[in-house]
Amino acid sequence: MRVRTIIFGWVEMNKQAMQRLAKCERDGLCPACLQKIEEGEVLVRGCHSKCAKATYRAIAAGKLTDEGQVACGEWKPRSGGRSPSNPVSVKANLGVA
């Protein structure tokens, strides 16, 4: 019998990176460029879509890594969409399981 499993990847975020993301979220800033996010702007990984595109390009070019950007708080971890509200999902995403 074959069953589907989900493999999680983990990345260590230091305190500075957590603070950077928290500050951006609180102040409505893009974690990549630290500029204000305008009302109604489409966000990708918590960043301006143009910043996220630039990041994706840099990753494709091998200059940055997805994990590295998450680890330094310059964009948010990949998620399945909106932020989880279910306690189990929140706990799983925080990696405190």
Closest CA to 8 of 95, 81, 66: 95
Nearer to Zn ion, 50 or 93 (CB): 50
Q: In the complex with Zn ion, which residue's Cβ is closer, 23 or 91?
A: 23
Specify whether the CB–CB gap between 71 and 21 falls below 8 A. Answer: no
What whole-number distance in Å separates Cα of residue 16 and Cα of residue 18? 5
CB of 52 to Zn ion, least distance (A): 8
**Nearer to Zn ion (CB atom), residue 50 or residue 67:** 50
Binding flag, residue 33, Zn ion (CB under 5 A): yes
Residue 48 is a binding residue for Zn ion (CB under 5 A): yes
Nearest-angstrom CA–CA distance, 34 and 36: 7
Which residues form the interface with Zn ion (CB under 5 A)? Answer: 30, 32-33, 48, 51
